[in-house]
Amino acid sequence: MRRRSRWAIAAPLVLLSLAAMPLRAQGSPPQTADTAGMSIHSATLSDSALDAETRGVASQLRCPICQGESLQDSPSELAGEMRNLVKTQLAQGKTPAEVKAYFVSKYGEWILLDPRAHGFNLVLYAAPYVLLVIGLGVIYVAVKRWSANGPAPEESQQEQH
């Protein structure tokens, strides 16, 4: 299977080792929430701006092995590795556009969840607005014409509101 995980083989091992595992929770010193959370995350969460930017880029890139999920949302390992790479590249000073361009050069335009607004893709962006404008025009003309009409002779009044 061309699928993510090494877990399939790990599972039986895990079950065996867990069966023999003492409960570690009691043995651990109680820690306050914040120190525990921060101690683990001090390295990665120190720069929340970088994290926010990473999230921004990762949510615009498609996870290659999942279908339609973004790198940000996918729990798959490849997506996790790609998120790390996004972060590394941003930390090295690349702009979000450059990071996205890197992924496009590796995986093709397909990896962009938000197609680039140029060339033929403009059709995609324009079509809804074209329909909306036509629709507004139709409503304008119809309302104007119908307002000018007198009441129809056999107008139905079956239901009061």
Partner 1 sequence: MNWKRSIIAALFAVPLILLFAYGFTKDPNNIPSPLPGRMAPDFRLPVFASGEPPTTLPVGDTVHLASLRGQVVVLNFWASWCLSCRDEHRELSAFARRYAGKPVRFLGVLYNDFPAPAINWIQEMGGQQYPSVNDATAHTSIDYGLYGVPETYFIDGNGRVAYKQTGPVTDSILTAKVDSLIAALPAAAKSGAAADSALPALTPARTSPKGAP
Partner 2 sequence: MTGMFAHDALLVSLFAVLFGAVIGTLGIRGHRQDWVQLAFGSVYANFVLVTIATLAMIYALVTHDYSVSYVAQVGSNETPLFYTVISLWGALEGSILFWAWVLGAYSTAVIWINRKRAGNLVPWAAVTLLVVALFFAILLVWPANPFHSVFPVPSDGPGPNPLLQNHILMAVHPPLLYLGYVGMSVPFAFAAGAMFSGEVASDDWIRISRTWTMIAWGFLSAAIIAGMWWSYEVLGWGGYWAWDPVENASFLPWLTATAYLHSVMVQERRGMLKLWNLNLMVGTFVLTILGTFLTRSGILSSVHAFTTGTIGYYFLTFIGIVLVWALAMVGGVSDKLKTRGHLESVTSRETVFLFNNLFLTAFMFTVLVGTLFPLVAEALRGVKVTVGQPFFDKMTLPLISALIFLVGVGPALPWGSASRDVLKRKLLPPIAGAVVMGAIGLAVGARNPYAVLIFAFVGYSAFANLREYWIGMKARHAAHGENWGLALTRLVGGNRRRYGGYVAHLGVLLVALGIAASQSFRREREATLEPGQSITVSGHTARLKEVWGRQEPQRAVIGATMEVVENGKVVATADPRMNFYPTQSAPVPTPQVISSISGDLYFNLMAFDQNGSHATVKLIVQPLVPWIWFGGGVVVLGAIIGVFPKRKRRTVPATARQPVPAVPLPLPTTGGGEA
Identify the CA nearest to 99 among candidates 53, 43, 46: 53
Rounded least distance, CB 92 to partner 2, Å: 22
Question: Which of partner 1, partner 2, none has residue 118 at its interface (CB below 5 to 8 Å by kind)?
Answer: none
Report the residue number, 73 or 81, with the smaller CB distance to partner 1: 81
| 67-96 positions binding partner 1, by CB under 8 A | 77-78, 81-82, 84-85, 88
Q: How many residues bind partner 1 (CB under 8 A)?
A: 25
Q: What single string gives the DSSP state of each residue in 34-49?
A: HHHHHHHHHHHHS-HH
Residue 112, classified by CB atoms within 10 Å of its CB into exposed (0-12), middle (13-18) or buried (19+), is middle
Per rule CB under 8 A, is residue 107 in the interface with partner 1? yes
Cβ(87)–Cβ(54) below 8 Å = yes
- List interacting residues with partner 1 (CB under 8 A): 1-10, 64-65, 77-78, 81-82, 84-85, 88, 104-108, 110
